[in-house]
Amino acid sequence: MARGDARDDTVRVLVLTDHVGGGTGRHLLALHEALAHSRVATRILSTGRVHFHGPEADAVGCTRPAPALHRFPVAQAWNLMEVTRALRAAPVHVLHTYGFWPIVYGRALRRAGVVQHLVENRESIDTDWRQGGFRLLRASRSLPERVICVSRSVAEYVVGAERLDEAQVRVIENGAPEQRWPVPREEARRRLGIPASAYVVGAVSSHLDRPVKGLSCLIDAMRDLVTQLADVTLLLVGAWSPGGPTIAALRAGHLLVRTILLGYREDVDLVYPAMDTLAMSSQSEGLPIAILEAMSHALPVVATQVGGTREVVLSEETGFLVRAGDAGALASHLLSLARQPALRASMGVRAQRRFREHFHIRRTAERYKGLYEELVRA
């Protein structure tokens, strides 16, 4: 897991997470790669599943599974011992945690003096930590030196919900890499069996069935769209259950024949070029990686104005923003983009320019590097 020819002044960071997958997983791997040739050496340790394979996932280590039943509190005690063992075997300057239990482990380790500097991340305001979890975080809120929030909306929520000192909080927006060898639109569509003439609305999520993703709203919008467009395809990327709400809604809306369900894909960068527009109908978001990836591919975005989404998408410039649950407005903007290819192209160009200026992973990596060095060099 160690990388490069570490120098004496290299800042060593262990990123601890409860799983590596979806948009956050792609972000962590991209951040690791972007920092590879800097004076910050990161490695990633997961206490749960790693959903990626291949060279990119070589940066990720996993704790050994508990020999007993993997349930509370046995699993948590085992994971804490495993993380402690990893840190003693390869000490770091900074422990950076993602997810509720990694946050708890990090605070316990800092209180015990195992780690010197502790940084935490908050990815969204859609948490299932409930009041017991929040009480635990409030009681130990002085332990992390920095809590990184991926958008201003998340920061406002976290300060209130966890009663953090605002001096602890830093906003560092998510980033995404730019595809080095983009796939031509025609080739992407050929691989997926999509006609060149079709208007393709794409949606990307790690789990399509999650209620917070609001996919039923997008499906309602598509029902309106297919009555006005002869050749339209809904392209869904993400895990789904055969008996889950996504399939049920598509079947009820008679949209299965108009929909391509790709399932979970690691190679999502090969799918974006097949789209004309990215749609996101979430009820809550932190700062979606899928939107940044779509912008990097010069796609306009039609999304709900929730969380950090409204900090990324410039309505009527790089796409459109609608109220959460407003299927009519979603359909109207998707139809407008379908009927105006020139508008779609110009919005895509502006979206790509905004991505390169504000959300490229290199910019995000520089900010993380500065924060780590600030703590260690102080």
> How many CB atoms neighbour CB 23 within 10 A?
22
The one-letter code for the residue type at 311 is E
Token representation of residue 15: 């990123």
Neighbour order of strands in the sheet with 301-304: 259-263, 232-239, 199-207, 277-280, 301-304, 319-322
SS3 362: helix
Compute the distance between CA of residue 337 and CA of residue 332 in angstroms, rounded to an integer. Answer: 9
Count CA atoms closer than 13 A to 276's CA, side-chain side. Answer: 24
Compute the distance between CA of residue 273 and CA of residue 270 in angstroms, rounded to an integer. Answer: 7
What is the reported pLDDT for 65?
Answer: 85
How would you class 100 by CB atoms within 10 Å of its CB: exposed for 0-12, middle for 13-18, buried for 19 or more? middle
Compute the distance between CA of residue 219 and CA of residue 259 in angstroms, rounded to an integer. Answer: 10
Residue spans in the chain of domains classed CATH 3.40.50.2000: 11-177+360-377, 185-359
User: DSSP for 227-270?
Assistant: TT-SSEEEEEEEE--TTSHHHHHHHHTT-GGGEEEEES-S-GGG
- Residue 277 · residue 301 · CB < 8 Å: yes
- Residue 232 · residue 197 · CB < 8 Å: no
What is the reported pLDDT for 30?
Answer: 95
Supply the DSSP symbol for 315.
B
Using the structure block, give the residue that is written with the tokens 């990119």: 56
SS3 299: coil
pLDDT tens, position by position, for the chain (378 residues)? 344 444 568 999 999 999 999 999 999 999 999 999 899 999 999 999 998 887 777 889 999 887 776 788 889 999 999 999 999 999 999 999 999 999 999 999 999 999 999 999 999 987 777 778 999 999 999 999 999 999 999 999 999 999 999 999 999 999 999 987 889 999 999 999 999 999 999 999 999 999 999 999 999 999 999 999 999 999 999 999 999 999 999 999 999 999 999 999 989 999 999 999 999 999 999 999 999 999 999 999 999 999 999 999 999 999 999 999 999 999 999 999 999 999 999 999 999 999 999 999 999 999 999 999 999 998
Distances (CA, A) of 254 to 86, 137, 232, 259, 321: 52, 46, 13, 10, 26
SS3 280: strand
What is the reported pLDDT for 132?
Answer: 84
In words, the CATH class of domain 185-359 is alpha beta
With residue 25 as reference, give the H or E element that holds it.
helix 22-34
Token representation of residue 314: 């410039």
Nearest CA to 254 among 272, 285, 227?
A: 227
What is the reported pLDDT for 242?
Answer: 95
In words, the CATH class of domain 11-177+360-377 is alpha beta
The one-letter code for the residue type at 168 is Q
Using the structure block, give the residue that is written with the tokens 């958008």: 151
With residue 12 as reference, give the H or E element that holds it.
strand 11-17
- Residue 120 · residue 103 · CB < 8 Å: yes
pTM here?
A: 0.94
SS3 202: strand
The one-letter code for the residue type at 347 is M
Compute the distance between CA of residue 82 and CA of residue 69 in angstroms, rounded to an integer. Answer: 16
Compute the distance between CA of residue 374 and CA of residue 369 in angstroms, rounded to an integer. Answer: 8
- Residue 300 · residue 350 · CB < 8 Å: no
